[in-house]
Chain A
């Protein structure tokens, strides 16, 4: 059976040329009418269903539940453990969605494999196979966490430029293989992988060049930097002075504060 190369779908050139007021209106329309394709795989699906019921009701936010299929959906919420057996189906159904499309990863298992990250048959995070816009932590997250993530996604859509989001790198079509992100290169000191470096640490340090997660511009990400690849490295927090470990904020009272607990001076 021969395959037909249909080319990567994309947004037309008019999107980049649209003036700002028009983009504002289009973003408003797009973020308040998200037809959701629920990819419920495990326990997190129950919390998703709870969020769709009357107590929390994400239809208030414009997320219309249960699109009739991926082809008529805008938003895909992956909730639950993505096993290696299910991963090709996730990829296929994501590819069947039409642009512009968004993905929310709901729960620990779809964020990074969760408690089953060590398993032989679990995909360590759905972002290994599809690009994710918002990650919701929790095991399972509260339904209100999903609502907060939807609000966060809507804020992201409000400020986005579809032309930039779906721009092809250099004008050449990107194949599905090239669109998958390579793994983050581990740094040299053998510590936890640099995947776990927080954005704060990345801003603080800007020395040796460790390539950050490469994303092609087909995938949703922050606008690619004009400068060459941003450098980051993991530096252990070595306190320089005695004050270094002191965080400059009002002293929190430990809940078990009593005569037996020592509270350090701030």
Chain B
């Protein structure tokens, strides 16, 4: 055998393999192809199969106009300044005799420019009146970038696709309102039973 320069990883098998059969490499390759051919695929064939979307998925923002009081917090907090709001004030006559006239904000224009939006959700988070919600819809590509500005009627239409809020995590602590209400109820029960005699209070065992 002639001396070969030492090559790391060279175990001399290549020479032996070449001598074992003509076209063996191609057969091995075809075997791999055949094996892969009959393996199940993981392709989700959109648009025939819609994707499985997680519950808090952010597709598009929906506006529930009835809840909006035009406080403009969403527009101010949006880091991109992609929410355009126009409004005016209306004066309502006094309801009682000698009362004061009331002023009301009326929404004229509410638009979200989805060509700028980065889907951070700050507007949804910051709205004190739950007028903005996430909707999982994502199929709204357009031919013209100006059509990516959704005006209020289009934003209102998205609210039909908003999912109900997911149920709370069973291992999570109860929300503060429920905890406070339970404490108040337990206190009232304790006061009632202190008069009538000591009894076990099943509500005390809950973790905070």
Contact = CB atoms under 8 A, between A and B. Distances in A.
Chains A and B are bound partners: yes
B139 to A, nearest CB: 5
A133 B145 CA distance: 10
Interface in A93-135: 105, 108, 111-115, 117, 125, 127, 132-135
Contacts of A192: 84
Interface in A42-67: 54-57, 60
B115 A137 contact: yes
A54 B149 contact: no
Interface stretch (B8-16, B22-30, B156-164, B188-196): B156-164
Interface band, chain A: 35 or more
B145 A54 contact: no
Given A113-B116, A198-B149, A156 B143 contact: yes
A138 B84 contact: no
Given A149-B141, A239-B106, A264-B66, A108 B118 contact: yes
Interface string B63-102: 0111100000000000110001010100000000000000
A139 B139 contact: no
B143 A135 contact: yes
Interface residues of B, number: 57
Contact of B51 (A144, A195, A201, A262): A144
B117 A108 contact: yes
A56 B46 contact: yes
Interface in A129-188: 132-139, 141-142, 144-145, 147-149, 151-152, 156
Contact of A237 (B44, B51, B108, B113): B108
A128 to B, nearest CB: 11
Residue among B111, B113, B154 having the largest count of chain A Cβ atoms under 10 Å: B113
B35 to A, nearest CB: 16
Interface string B26-45: 00000000000000011111
A201 B84 CA distance: 15
Interface in B106-134: 106-109, 111, 113-119, 130, 133
Given A138-B138, A147-B46, A198-B111, A255 B117 contact: no
B146 A199 contact: yes
Given A56-B46, A111-B115, A142-B51, A256 B165 contact: yes
Given A56-B46, A112-B116, A139-B119, A152 B41 contact: no
B130 A256 contact: yes
A122 B114 CA distance: 18
Given A239-B108, A252-B64, 13 more contacts: A56-B43, A105-B145, A114-B118, A135-B143, A136-B141, A137-B140, A142-B59, A144-B46, A144-B139, A145-B141, A148-B47, A200-B153, A252-B162
Q: Which 3 A-B residue pairs are closest in the complex by CB-CB distance?
A: A112-B115, A111-B115, A149-B141
Interface of B: 41-47, 51, 59, 64-67, 79-80, 84, 86, 88, 106-109, 111, 113-119, 130, 133, 138-154, 156-157, 159-160, 162-165
29 contacts: A54-B42, A55-B44, A111-B116, A112-B145, A117-B80, A127-B145, A145-B139, A147-B47, A148-B46, A148-B47, A148-B139, A151-B47, A152-B141, A192-B84, A196-B84, A198-B149, A198-B151, A199-B144, A200-B153, A201-B151, A236-B108, A239-B108, A245-B106, A247-B153, A249-B156, A252-B156, A254-B67, A254-B130, A255-B163
